Amino acid sequence: MAETFKDLGVCDQLVEACENLGWKNPSKIQAEVIPHALHGKDLIGLAETGSGKTGAFALPILQALLESRQAFFACVLSPTRELAIQIADQFEALGSGFGIKSIVLVGGGEAAIMDQYIKLARWRPHIVVGTPGQLLYHLSNTKGFSLRTLKYLVLDEADSLLNDEFEKSIDEILKIVPRERRTYLFSATMTRKVKKLRRVCLRNPVKIEVADKYSTVDTLEQHFCFMPIMCKDCYLVYILEKKCGISSMVFTRTGNATRFIALMLRNLGLRAISISGKMAQPKRLEALNQFKAGECNILICTNVASRGLDIPSVDMVINYDIPSNPKDYIHRVGRTARAGRPGVAISLVTDENELRTFLEIENRLGMKFPELPFKKEKVLLLKERVDEAKKISRRTIKESEDKSKNRERDDVEDEDDMDEFLGVENGKSKKKMRK
């Protein structure tokens, strides 16, 4: 196997860019993928979380771009906004030294759309990274932006993008982009459903699997902990306090739970922050940046943060709620133990249902995880503090909900005053509009 990026055929400029990032040697997936990519092949790349898949597709695209520069040369699709931003950062880090421009097309309100609109029109970036919906929005609404000359299409987290949720938008995008292009699909968990893969119109793709279909990395220590649901928060706090100072991600099922748990932990003096799909984009980014910068060392999140996010400092992942399938488990726990580093994953199992799901996960991975030997009496010493913290969180949430209800009511009353002022007829039509 090739020892260096140069051996793989990577050009000197990009070898230097890799060195600047501290990438001395190619990772396994990079070593396998890059030569095929440089020979112009379509690719399906399957490798563990944190194994350098982004570099595996970014380097060949950048090399081709350096040979013939062109606006809107490549498009990378991602299922989440945060991942899209991260992929664009990687292209920038590797390519900005030679003037490669990339843009991120993700939702985030009118200001974001305007900013993207201006950049697309005036800047004409080489690399477009985005979520399918926002890319389609710009393809339909932004003058002068088209992917008619696109040379490379990448579906990162391809199995997620080929799911029902994105089916319509991906099909629309595939209709728009030229058939004469290179197509790359990458993920740590890939669909084997040929029908799904066929939709993407790959041409004699080379399939590179550096991992078994379902696997986690060797440097990840995995455990579970069984407890009655009533004590779950005490166990969470116990673990986080025991491992205080390290950086952790805690996964829950719902956005409401992320908010509640983050408040509870903060009331206990822990530096926690939450992120979920329910939050407005600027808040999501702000929370993520605070976590990345180490201002908060505990991120409470939903699956929105489970795929692709590369935050090297994450030491521990806690499944507060068990993920509903092995794939989600792999992506969640893959937020730690990245690029050869060590990491710990702990799953909190509270009832028979969760236990069944957890056993399924173990089966699919072909592993048995040890149970953490916590002394229940010791954990329950926390109960009073935790209950008090929960009470305060509930009150805080109720107060903020009441405040926003009052604000809404004030807005409606303001409109009613305006209706009165404008006359009944006008008022009626306004109310209709409001409905």
Shortest Cβ 156–ligand ATP spacing (Å): 7
Shortest Cβ 323–ligand ATP spacing (Å): 15
Residues 335-364 that bind ligand ATP (CB under 6 A): 338-339
Nearer Cβ to ligand ATP (50/205): 50
Q: Which of 310, 354, 317, 342 is nearest to 332 (CA)?
A: 317
Applying CB under 6 A, which part among 26-34, 317-325, 367-375, 420-428 lies near ligand ATP?
Answer: 26-34
CA torsion 255-256-259-261 (nearest 10°) is -110
Q: How many CB atoms lie within 10 A of CB 179?
A: 8
Distance CA 338, CA 205 (A): 27
Compute how many residues bind ligand ATP; rule: CB under 6 A.
Answer: 19
Distance CA 435, CA 427 (A): 13
Shortest Cβ 367–ligand ATP spacing (Å): 19
Residues 294-313 that bind ligand ATP (CB under 6 A): 308, 310, 312
Nearer Cβ to ligand ATP (55/125): 55
Q: Which of 224, 170, 163 is nearest to 190 (CA)?
A: 163
Of positions 34, 41, 49, 166, contacts ligand ATP by CB under 6 A: 49
Q: Which of 221, 218, 212, 161 is nearest to 188 (CA)?
A: 212
Nearer Cβ to ligand ATP (259/335): 335
Of positions 37, 41, 52, 65, contacts ligand ATP by CB under 6 A: 52
Distance CA 11, CA 30 (A): 14
CB hemisphere CA count around 269 (13 angstroms): 5
Shortest Cβ 44–ligand ATP spacing (Å): 14
Of positions 8, 10, 14, 27, contacts ligand ATP by CB under 6 A: 27
Applying CB under 6 A, which part among 47-55, 116-124, 137-145, 201-209 lies near ligand ATP?
Answer: 47-55
Of positions 41, 53, 81, 266, contacts ligand ATP by CB under 6 A: 53
Of positions 26, 79, 125, 323, contacts ligand ATP by CB under 6 A: 26
Distance CA 378, CA 238 (A): 9
Of positions 37, 50, 135, 320, contacts ligand ATP by CB under 6 A: 50
Residues 310-339 that bind ligand ATP (CB under 6 A): 310, 312, 334, 338-339
Angle CA 226–325–228, to nearest 5: 20
Residues 109-148 that bind ligand ATP (CB under 6 A): none
Distance CA 52, CA 200 (A): 23
Residues 172-191 that bind ligand ATP (CB under 6 A): 188
Shortest Cβ 285–ligand ATP spacing (Å): 18
Nearer Cβ to ligand ATP (90/267): 90
Shortest Cβ 390–ligand ATP spacing (Å): 33
Nearer Cβ to ligand ATP (52/95): 52
Distance CA 153, CA 144 (A): 19
Nearer Cβ to ligand ATP (270/314): 314
Is there binding between residue 54 and ligand ATP (CB under 6 A)?
Answer: yes
Contact 50, 220 (CB under 8 A): no
361-370: long-range contacts at Cβ-Cβ below 8 A with a sequence spacing of 24 or more?
361/322, 361/323, 361/325, 361/326, 361/329, 364/214, 364/326, 365/214, 365/215, 365/216, 365/326, 365/329, 365/330, 366/214, 367/216, 367/222, 369/222, 369/223, 369/224, 370/223, 370/224
Contact 419, 427 (CB under 8 A): yes
Interface residues with ligand ATP (CB under 6 A)? 23, 26-27, 30, 47, 49-55, 188, 308, 310, 312, 334, 338-339
